[in-house]
Structure 1
């Protein structure tokens, strides 16, 4: 875990450290000139005041007073220039300090580093470019408190959902676990190719062991899961058109890892919304074929419809 603002990487900073040192040295020199200009101004002011007194007493000449006045004006201008140099020096120090600070890559928010994208000594760019011999990033950071599950919902069913609608989340990696969720966002756009709307579902409880990009299935509920229901294993359920009759038995075609199908006997239970529950059959998270054609046989390879 890293906290917001924590340093997670340091870029090569030798040049920027040198720039900071140079800017600070230049500032000190400017401040020394400012101090000298202040002393010169004080001396010129005293000399001018003295000449005024002498002039008033008739001891000094007008030329001497003019010379003291000119010297005083020059001293004031020199001090103003020195003060401007000091201000510019401070600005250069700040610019150099900011450039050096930019070498320290900090976490923009609290979360976990899920992937290291570069190693020590490699060149890093702000974006990925095919023509650059380097990486487009340093690390991937995920805010696990804001993880969302994206579900494609039929446009004919999306009207039944609202922000806060309870849901059950089952991850492909943990098919025996049930996570409580709720609708966090309904995208105001329809995918015409699939006739679906993307809905984002937030985890109600801390999503333990959940990682970004995990596969999942979402079931929208009429009420939130209670503690007992959450701890109980998920109830397997399939679309009614996935169940086929095999004489006195029923079965579903399960999609295996090599994209071939296998017939698995099932015993159906009561309806669960638009689904039918399975008392016996494949475990939750298993892919099945909907509306299988009569000629579909075990071992046949299929292609998932997009």
Structure 2
């Protein structure tokens, strides 16, 4: 009996010990999947991003065919500014205080139209004095004329009396002297009148100089002075103005372009030019070369070219930025009539062309990945290049591709 009791106690369950849980066989694989998802999300958020590249679309350009109209090709692209060949800051000929300004910015003025008045009080008073002196000289002549007439008659009478021995020679000499004196005095008074007239004309001109007029027909672009300000033809410091306003002749607008001296051989006089204002990118303005200034700027290595604008439009304003394309002369119809249709060419920017191992290549984007294409260059005009093979029109090409770009790299297009 004593040996059976321990064996029954061993079979009794101990309720005080913690229960043991059974581990599921899917716990470890599920944990690994969760960790992989977290790692992938972290890589997408914080991992390296595809490089951004600037892109453009390859364009098509074909040569002329049997029934093609005359065409022009771009020989050179440049940029410049609209300038006025005829512009003037209008000032006065004398120093004075502005009493009235009759113009505003944007107003059209005609030649000799009055723009402003300067205080003319002093010069007007001097004019009145000169006119009075002229009148005084004229009245002095009226006084001397009767005396001269009487002296001439006396001289005639004494001459007859001396001939008949009725008067002495001394009386005749006295009459001659009196007549000569009065004639000399009359001549002096006539000279004084001429001087007085010139004096009056001088003061009239000075009064006219206080009236500022437009030198030519144009548009007022700047108003420089207001009533009460001092104005002078020369800068004297302080608050003295040197001009009333600035007038621009809108019919004299042209384009000034600085052309790199390396490409100046592509420009000639009367060459057709296509101009596009930065403000109106869709408006092509027909123009032509006026002249090539025969000197170069050694600091910038450029030559200035003047380009005439062949249309007049109020949208064209001085100092506007403009891009110009110097064109080739259009081919005549009879020159192209016997020529077959040319090959299909693709136009791309020069910046998209690269040279690797003496081969011309262009990077394109296909399915968001960079691909390298070997191309054949047909012609280069300024910053544009024509390709005869390798790239089809409409393909997306990369401009200024990074030097470390590799085949198949995923890239994103830079937002403009």
Distance 1:272 1:3 in 2: 49
Distance 1:5 1:43 in 2: 53
If you compute each CA radius of gyration, which structure gives the higher value, 1 or 2? Answer: 2
2:287 is aligned with 1:181: yes
Distance 2:272 2:287 in 1: 6
Q: What is the match of residue 238 of structure 2?
A: 132
TM-score by length of 2: 0.55
| Cα displacement string for residues 178-224 of structure 1 (whole angstroms, at most 9, x for unaligned residues) | 21111112111112222211111111111332221111111111248
Q: Is the 8 A contact 1:30 1:85 kept in 2?
A: yes
Indicate which of 196, 200, 206 corresponds to 2:306: 200
Q: Is the 8 A contact 2:272 2:326 kept in 1?
A: yes
- Relative distance call for 1:190 and 1:242 in structure 2 (3 A) is farther
Give the count of matched residue pairs: 256
| Cα displacement string for residues 70-89 of structure 1 (whole angstroms, at most 9, x for unaligned residues) | 21111011011101101111
TM-score by length of 1: 0.74
Indicate which of 334, 340, 350 corresponds to 1:240: 350
Flag structure 1 segments of 5+ consecutive residues without an equivalent.
225-236, 251-269, 282-289, 296-306
Shift of 1:66: 2.2
Flag structure 2 segments of 5+ consecutive residues without an equivalent.
1-107, 331-346, 354-361, 369-377, 386-392, 405-416
| Map 1:44-63 → 2, pairs under 5 A | 44-63=151-170
The residue matched to 1:21 in structure 2 has which SS? helix
Indicate which of 183, 190, 195 corresponds to 1:88: 195
| Cα displacement string for residues 148-176 of structure 1 (whole angstroms, at most 9, x for unaligned residues) | 21111111221222221111111122222
Q: Is the 8 A contact 2:352 2:363 kept in 1?
A: no
Q: What is the match of residue 66 of structure 1?
A: 173
Distance 1:34 1:249 in 2: 108
Shift of 1:294: 5.8
Distance 1:192 1:150 in 2: 18
Distance 2:401 2:231 in 1: 51
Distance 2:402 2:123 in 1: 69
Q: Is the 8 A contact 1:186 1:197 kept in 2?
A: yes
Q: Is the 8 A contact 2:364 2:395 kept in 1?
A: no
